[in-house]
Amino acid sequence: MDEVSNTPGRVGGRVTSRDGTPIAYERYGEGPPLVLVSGALGTAAGGRALGGLLARRFSVVAYDRRGRGGSGDTGPYAVEREIEDLAAVVGEAGAGSALYGEGTGGALALAAVAAGLEAGAVAAYEPPYSAEAAERRRQVGVLLGEGRPLAALDLFLADPTAASGPRPGVTELRPGVAELAHTLAYDLAVLGDGTVPERLLARVHARVLVVDGGASPAWTRRAALALTAALPRARHRTLTGQTHEVAPHVLAPVLEDFLTEDRETVEAA
């Protein structure tokens, strides 16, 4: 049963994934269902600013991916288990839920739809497919394999390709993020070899919006364009002046227009 949180208008609860893992979520707003899928180190709480804006038109459900926040972390990890987690959340959110994924969350959302998850339109912001970042991902994976999650986290955050420059080290992070370091291995698994999985994406027949920031590194634009080309029904949009840390008030109306257009198209058919 859902449990009312201490924040007005937000309801929290848990669903059980296929392997028995409890997955925590938050729901707010009224309207067609929309599920937010966080990227690396993200949680449901991190999506509240964007979700609050979208809640004017949608019933927004944000959840903690396994190993994060209030969700469980049953092992061994497999991308298939994360897809089952998302399917459980979509089942709770409502049939035909649209999906929005940020970073690796976008890659996960697309993989889930390719695997047969029935969802509405999908929007993805800068899924980090890139051969250029392969060596850094490999080094992060090595550190995780050696049992050095905090070193892996520092390397991940000190990305020299980031438009805004290297991010703070672990000691400067907001409380709780260091505890998520081990989940970087999950994001690496979702990305596979880091290249756009063209055969997989050919099975995504939902409408897709791929978005990137105009001030992000050049490789993110190349990745977004390659992803758009690999999808049967996708369009691409660049948000001028935005980086990977996209401003919610800039992104929200773009998503709203795209998702509303999709709903109007379905209702008119």
From the number of C-beta atoms within 10 Å of its C-beta (0-12, 13-18, 19+), residue 44 rates as buried
Residue 162 pLDDT: 46
Q: Of 27, 30, 89, 37, nearest to 58 (Cα)? A: 30
Residue 27 pLDDT: 97
What's the pTM value of the predicted model, to 2 decimals? 0.91
- Give CA–CA dist 237/210, Å, rounded: 6
Residue 7 pLDDT: 43
Size of the chain, expressed as the number of residues it contains: 269
| pLDDT grade for 164, boundaries at 50, 70 and 90 | very low
Instruction: Name, in order, each residue with C-beta under 8 angstroms of 62's C-beta and a sequence gap of 6 or more.
Output: 25, 26, 35, 36, 38, 44, 47, 48, 51
Give me the chain's average pLDDT, please. Answer: 89
pLDDT tens per residue, range 189-210: 999 999 999 999 999 999 999 9
Greatest CA span in the chain, whole angstroms?
A: 55
φ and ψ at residue 212, rounded to 5 degrees: -135, 170
Mean pLDDT value of segment 126-130: 92
